[in-house]
Amino acid sequence: MIDIEDLGVGFFRQLAGQTPAGICLLDRRGKCLFTNRAFEDITGFSPQELSSGPSLGFFAAPDRMVARNKMQLAETLGRQRWGARVLRPDGKQRDVNAIAIDVTAAGRKATTLVLFDVTATLRLALKVSTINAFAQSLSTSGSIQDLLDQLSKRLVESTEALASVVLLLGSSPSRVTLAGSYGVSDAPQTWELPVSDPIWEAFERGKTRVLTHLEQSESSDGLLQRLAPALEWESVILVPLRASNKSLGVAACAYARDHDPDEAEVTFVKTPVGLAAEAVDHARLVDLAQQQAVTEERARLGRELHDSVSQTLYGIGLGAQSALEALNTDSGEAAESIDYILKLAAGGLTEMRTLLYKLRPESLAAEGLVEALRQHIGSLAERHKIALQLHLGEEPDLPLSSKHAVYRMVMEAVHNAVKHAQAETLKLSLEQRDGALSITIEDNGHGFDPSKDFSGHHGLDSMKERILSLGGQIDLESHLDVGTIVRATIPAPDNQGT
């Protein structure tokens, strides 16, 4: 127990006046006998309010009983320490570390309560943690809406904001779409922005804005002005989502009355919004690349259709004409022509099935990768009289999207061996080790010089892109007049894309 009389009342008051910690002397009933200025600043109560108010009434309700128990323990143990929250009269909360010390003052037992305001420290730690967690979640977020909903949630949880919405530019210059939200249940999904809307100004200028007194705004046309009265918004931070030197949208954090955001709050909000903007831009580029890949794939299939099936049909037409002419003069020649037609038709049917399979890859889900490769490569080898060796093993444990990529890479390599290298033998093996898939495709065709630039030729670029998109590796080994070996490795599903 500490005796304040031994320290000297003057010394105690001088010490209390100089420390940034809040100090309050309470009697055994919990009545405030003395407070320093720092204690009043932390709690927001005046000395008169503290002395006349309920015991420990400055603590938030859930922490009040804990504080009473800690102070009782301090009477017997001498000292107690705990974390708590102070609820100020203006509704704001402060995080504090509290210490209760058993003392005597003027011969009477009392308790000195010391409060250390750690609000800024804890909130800074929370914000750093939020940025780190959000950055890590970018690679695992699903759709753009999932990503922006997550952004809105984290902004509200790590600031004093009531709600957050993220708006993306729509199909027309003045139309925006609600792409993410937290704390808002009835906002419109799309909105036509008038030229006077501050959101549109944030889009156009690409600069952060802080709007205050929304409820008193004379303009009622804007989206925020429509939402503010119903949701009790008083001020809003508008941060544009910018990437690649263009505005993609705006993130808005809304605050209640008397909770206007300060400069530090604005600076923090800009960081996760900036991360989200880069992620949205990346997702859109990936989607654009996929659309372009579909277009290129269709063009390639069209060329294959022209180069193979249409030529086969032309050959069938010539054979039919020859058979018709020979029917009345030479039955043997007619029979040969008909046999030729049947072989062309069988080959054309095989080629058509292969092309149709490429157009309808969903059948891979039913057949499986191994069976699909066995059937389609087998048919191709039979038609082109190629000696084929297959070592395919069991069905690999890969997602369907990965199987599609593997199938198309293998078929591209086989197509190169058959159409361009004019191989006579072809070997294909699939081998699984620890969840990873190893692929080897070997032919004895013409080969090529790998040191030369073959960019854009023979589908080599698309083969590499498909494997690299799965986090895999691919290696090409080729020698002129010897052949080519393609080796690829696909990691286990848990490691793809890492």
| Amino acid 9: pLDDT | 47
Q: Which top CATH class is 369-498?
A: alpha beta
Residue among 406, 442, 398, 451 nearest 424 (CA)? 442
Contact partners, residue 217, CB within 8 Å, separation at least 6? 225, 228
CB 124 within 8 A of CB 95: no
Read off the pLDDT of residues 257-306 as tens digits, 9 standing for 90 and up. Answer: 777 788 888 888 888 888 888 888 877 776 776 676 666 666 666 666 65
Per-residue pLDDT of the chain in tens (498 residues, 90 and over written 9): 444 444 444 545 655 666 888 998 888 888 888 888 899 999 999 988 988 888 898 999 889 999 999 999 999 899 999 999 999 998 888 999 999 999 887 678 889 999 999 988 887 777 777 777 777 766 555 678 888 888 899 888 888 888 898 988 876 667 788 888 888 876 677 877 777 777 877 877 888 888 887 655 544 456 666 665 556 777 889 999 988 788 888 999 988 877 778 888 888 888 888 888 888 887 777 677 667 666 666 666 666 665 665 566 666 666 677 766 776 677 677 677 777 766 666 666 566 656 555 555 555 777 788 988 888 888 778 878 899 999 998 999 888 888 888 988 898 899 888 878 889 999 999 998 887 899 999 999 988 887 776 544 546 777 888 898 888 999 999 998 899 999 999 988 766 654
| Amino acid 142: pLDDT | 63
Average model confidence (pLDDT) across the chain: 79
**Which residue is associated with the tokens 């990691």?**
491
Read off the pLDDT of residues 4-40 as tens digits, 9 standing for 90 and up. Answer: 444 444 545 655 666 888 998 888 888 888 888 899 9
CATH for 2-117 is 3.30.450.20
Bridge partner list, 108: 105
CB 47 within 8 A of CB 33: no
Residue among 146, 222, 157, 156 nearest 179 (CA)? 146
DSSP structural state of residue 307 = I
What's phi and psi for 432, nearest 5 deg? Answer: -105, 135
79 CB-contact burial (10 Å; exposed 0-12 / middle 13-18 / buried 19+): middle
| Amino acid 389: pLDDT | 94
User: Per-residue DSSP letters for 437-472?
Assistant: EEEEEEE-S----TTS--TTSTTHHHHHHHHHHTT-
Q: In the structure encoding, which two tokens stand for residue 200, read together?
A: 């549109």
> 283-307 in b/e burial notation, b at 16+ Cβ within 10 A?
eeeeeeeeeeeeeeeeeeeeebeee
| Amino acid 122: pLDDT | 81
| Amino acid 218: pLDDT | 47
Q: Where are the domains of the chain?
A: 2-117, 122-278, 369-498
| Amino acid 498: pLDDT | 45
Q: Do 122-278 and 2-117 have the same topology in CATH?
A: yes
CA atoms of 254 and 232, how far apart (whole Å)? 9
| Amino acid 462: pLDDT | 78
> 32-63 in b/e burial notation, b at 16+ Cβ within 10 A?
bbbbbebbbebbbbeeeebeeeebbebbeeeb
| Amino acid 345: pLDDT | 66
CATH for 122-278 is 3.30.450.40
Q: In the structure encoding, which two tokens stand for residue 265, read together?
A: 């709050």
C-alpha dihedral sign at 152, 156, 159, 164: positive
| Amino acid 30: pLDDT | 84
What's phi and psi for 166, nearest 5 deg? Answer: -125, 125
CA atoms of 293 and 64, how far apart (whole Å)? 63
